[in-house]
Amino acid sequence: MKILVCISNVPDTTSKINFTESDTKFDTNGVQFVINPNDEFGLTRAMWFKEKQGATVHVATVGGANVEPTMRKALAIGADEAIRINAEPVDGFFVAQQLAEVIKTGGYDLVIGGRESIDYNGGMVPGMIATFLDMNFVNTCISLDIEGTTATAVREIDGGKETLNTSLPLVIGGQKGLVEESDLRIPNMRGIMQARQKKLSVLEPVSATKTTEDVSFDKPEPKGSVKLVDTVDELIDLLHNEAKAI
């Protein structure tokens, strides 16, 4: 089985976010970038298939040379090969088009992407890839087992879970539950050294459509001031007379 894990290079959740050029561009200065958490759950599940079933695991992303440390981390975790499409990921449609071209020529049986990335939260790329390539698709996937060419997937739905049987080739949009946070892997020294020798291919982008444009970004309103109270009576008085909550 040949697996491609689609990786997004996203700001760490602890990063302080700022914008430049009249709030139209994201300021990357001083920002630490990491593997998108939903993608990392998928990568960890792919490693399980590699170790238990002998799968080959590739990772791919769309981005400039600045994303290569993130790709090297994926290689250090255990991926066999990395592919970087040398283009700015301007929107989800463009990214899906670029990744679909890689998948079309790569002969992949399983494509794993995160349900959404934590930067723009678009939640569109895996579904678009499946549409472009006419492949089966399971979104919000929290469990995946494969036997031969048959896949059993569990996905999260409103108020419960749904179990599906489908066939390869397959695209999934994964999330926490595909593996647990305790299953995520920290690269060890051996993995880091081996990653330096693994293949990281750089491909030029195909001609593709950009369908959106960032007009401006706005930060959330700052949190308001708070009052500290010492007694229950004082709290009740404030809730009743000031907040008008009771």
170-210 pLDDT per residue, tens: 999 999 999 999 999 999 999 999 999 999 999 999 998 88
CATH number at 154 reads: 3.40.50.620
Q: Are 23 and 218 in contact (CB under 8 A)?
A: yes
Residue 150 lies in a domain: yes
Q: What is the DSSP letter of 118?
A: T
Q: Is residue 22 part of a domain?
A: yes
What's residue 220's pLDDT?
A: 85
The answer to whether residue 239 sits within a structural domain is no
Tell me, yes or no, whether 175 lies in a domain.
Answer: yes
pLDDT in tens, 222-241: 888 888 888 999 989 888 88
240 within a domain of the structure (yes/no):
no
Cα–Cα distance for residue pair 113/126, rounded to 1 Å: 6
pLDDT at 160: 95
3-state helix, strand and coil shares in percent for the chain, rounded to the nearest 5 = 30, 30, 40
Residue 208 lies in a domain: yes
Cα–Cα distance for residue pair 246/241, rounded to 1 Å: 8
Tell whether 23 is covered by a domain: yes
State the DSSP code for 67.
G
Burial of 10 from C-beta contacts in 10 A (0-12 / 13-18 / 19+): buried
Count of structural domains within the chain: 1
- pLDDT for 120 equals 86
Predicted TM-score (pTM) of this structure: 0.88
Domain containing 27: what range?
Answer: 2-220
Question: Which residues fall within 8 angstroms of residue 71, CB to CB, at 6 or more apart?
Answer: 7, 59, 61, 82, 84, 200
Q: Decide if 245 is inside a domain.
A: no
Neighbouring CB atoms inside 10 A of 154's CB total 18
Instruction: Report the alpha-carbon distance of residue 33 to residue 8 in Å, rounded.
Output: 10
